[in-house]
Every structure is written in structure tokens, then in C-alpha cells.
Amino acid sequence: MTRAARAARRVVLVIPDGVQTLDLAGPAEVFAAASRRAGRPLYEVVTAAATAAPVRTSAGFAVTVTPLASLRPRPRDTVLVAGGDDAAIRAALADGRAAAWIRRAAPVVERFGSVCSGAFVLAAAGVLDGKRAATHWSACERLAAFAPRATVDRDAIFVTDGRLWTSAGVTTGIDMALAIVERDHGAALVDEIAARLVLYARRPGFQAQWSPALVAQREASAPLAAVVAWARAHVGEPLDVAALAREAAMSPRTFHRRCVAFLGTTPAKLVAQLRLERARTLLATSRLSHKEIAAHCGLRDSAELARLVRRGLGISPGEYRTRFARREKNRAVARRRGDRGTATRTMGHGRSSRGAPSGSRGHPSHR
């Protein structure tokens, strides 16, 4: 093993039979991409399971694994448990070997955590006790009941609590993996990875994983979708339960009840979510002052805007705007570097020494 390989951190991805494919593939690709972009091995990715036999994924194909019994936890390891459907997690909990290995590894490794329902395995290992944790929004109540000594964050897409890292569902494992790489190697490398993976935005952990407004927007036929669309279009105006109820042709009491039943939130919280969506968009895409943005969002003043943004995102409007601008600048630089690299490779491989086209085999993207 070379000195560079020895310096690489090991990432152990623990998977159940029936693992959700993106819970595994998303983080694995982020850590692999970090090494590719750096031009040296930063991470060694190991896929591990309780069994030595190939493990079936939710997509139907199987992956080769390293048995957990053969792995000794190391101080520089990152250990993440991937999730799966209910049957996969129940089987992993009944088997017990993954939880037992996590219980032994947690005191030793640099960090440990889970993606999606992998949090249930952490809970079975006892490592969520006294900690904040995230999981898929549909499993939050079950995790809270299964791990009563843990605090389940029902909103964040991923949560860090000391050495514990837990993410919500599926693609949020990518966000968490990017945050881990940023912690280890800085934001510039992570922005290059995000640009290379064609990620529209790199989401911070405090961003809400589930927005009732977005759910209603996505489901055109969903109950209350029309009134949510109307409220979004009029978010700069005074919006109260009575106004929303009139638009929905319901009594205020009926509308409140339907809102809770179909969207899982109250009308007041729905309006706050819509105002926050508008505020984030204007902070990221305009040069309007905070006072002007507040007016566009139906808020009294910049102080009310600051309270809304801090409550929803955990940071101030100014900090959000600065972070977004910095990330977009870093992404633009990364894209330009990538374009120059592609152009250079194309020029180098596009023609043979005699000037005739060399074919697609010369370009790395066709290998």
C-alpha cells in the first residue's frame, strides 16, 4: 500500500439486504469523486454487510460486500449505515450483527451515522441515546417511538451531533456526504464535486426535508393544491385563515382541519413556509434590500424577515445570501475548469497523428 493510500480515510458503508440503492450509491459516489477531483486517494470506500454473500439492492442488482466480522474499526473511519424498506430494516434488526458491530465501532471511529432508515440500526446499537438524529420524514414518528431517548429532528435533511451524522431520505445522503467532505477537505473541493455531479444546489443540513407547500405544488391533483398555488401567487399580501378559507370555499374551521389532514400543518405554518420560499428565492437571485424583500413576502419589516429566515433556516438573511453567492461563484469556477479540461482532452484526442478523426475511443468519456 502506498503512503497516499495509507493516508486516505476509510468510509465503511454498512448495508442491509434490500438496501435502498441511492442510500448506498449517492454517498459512495461523493467520496469516490473527492479522490478523483483531488487527484489522490482521499477516501477508501468499503461496502460492508453482516453476511459475506452479495447483497441485493432495491433496484434488483446485487453488490459485493466485505463481511463486517472481518473489519476492525479504525480511528479515522467514517461509518454510515444505509437504509432500506421496512422489510429490509426489520430483517437487519432481527439479525443483530450490524447493530452489534456499530456498537463496538462507535467509540473508536472518527464519525458514524446513517442514511434514511439506517437510523433504526443505530438506535438498536444504542448510539442515538441522548442525541439528535434525522431519518426519512415518513419514519420520524416510528424512530421516536423506537428510540425514546433520542431527539428526532423531523425537519432537517441531515443532522450532526458531535461525531454522529444522520440524514433523511435517499438523496439527502448525498448532501450529508458532501458536508463530510467539506469538513475534511474544504468548500472548494466540494463545490467542484457538486458541479461535476450536476447538482443544482448543495443543501445545508438545516434545510427542511419536507415542505407541505412543495408537496401540494408537485401533486397537481392533491387536495388544497389550488389554494396553495393561489397563496403562493399572493404571498406578498395579508394572508390569514379567513382569506385562505374564502379561496377554498370553506369555513375557516373546515379549512384548518383539511389543511392539517392533507398537508400535515396548520394554515399559519403553511403561509410561513410560502413566505420563506419567496424570501430564499429573492435573497439568492436579487439585489433587493432586506426591507424590500420583506415587503415582497408580506412581512412588516426586515426584523420580521430576519426572524422568519432564522427560524426556518437557522441563519440570518445576510448569511444566507453570502453563502449562496459564495457557492455559486465556486461552482462557476469549477464549471469553467471542467469545460477547459474537456476542451483540452477533446483537442488532444479528437484527431490522430495523421490528422484523421481518431474515433470515440480516444476521449475519456467514451472509455
Q: Quote the pTM value.
A: 0.64
HSE-up of residue 254 (Cα within 13 Å, Cβ side): 8
Distance CA 341, CA 351 (A): 17
**pLDDT given for residue 219 in this prediction:** 47
Q: Spell out the domains of the chain, with CATH numbers in brackets.
A: 3-196 (3.40.50.880), 212-319 (1.10.10.60)
Distance CA 60, CA 54 (A): 12
The three grid cell numbers given for residue 50, joined into one nine-digit string: 453482516
At 8, phi and psi to the nearest 5? -70, 145
Task: Identify the band that residue 162 occupies on the pLDDT scale cut at 50, 70 and 90.
Answer: very high
Cβ–Cβ under 8 Å, residues 82 and 16: yes
Cβ–Cβ under 8 Å, residues 107 and 127: no
Q: How many CB atoms lie within 10 A of CB 37?
A: 21
In the chain, what percentage of residues exceed pLDDT 90?
59
The three grid cell numbers given for residue 184, joined into one nine-digit string: 475534511
Helix axes 241-248, 225-233, angle to 10 degrees: 130
150: left (phi over 0), alpha (psi -120 to 50) or beta: beta
Cβ–Cβ under 8 Å, residues 168 and 174: no
pLDDT in tens, 262-319: 887 899 999 998 999 889 888 888 889 999 999 999 999 999 999 998 888 778 999 8
pLDDT greater than 80 at residue 128: yes
Q: Across all residues in the chain, what is the average pLDDT?
A: 84
Long-range CB pairs of 144-150, under 8 A, 24+ apart, other chains included? 146/120, 147/119, 147/123, 150/123
The three grid cell numbers given for residue 83, joined into one nine-digit string: 437504509
Distance CA 123, CA 296 (A): 44
Lowest mean pLDDT among 1-5, 153-157, 229-233: 1-5
> Which residues on neighbouring strands pair with residue 43, listed in sequence order?
9
**Rounded alpha-carbon distances, angstroms, from residue 45 to 34, 41, 77, 134, 185:** 11, 10, 10, 23, 16
pLDDT in tens, 34-61: 999 999 999 999 999 999 999 999 999 9
Q: What value does the mean pLDDT take over residues 87-92? A: 97
Cβ neighbors of 108 (< 8 A, separation 6 or more) are 73, 74, 75, 77
pLDDT in tens, 55-71: 999 999 999 999 999 99
The three grid cell numbers given for residue 305, joined into one nine-digit string: 424577515
116: left (phi over 0), alpha (psi -120 to 50) or beta: left
**pLDDT given for residue 355 in this prediction:** 35
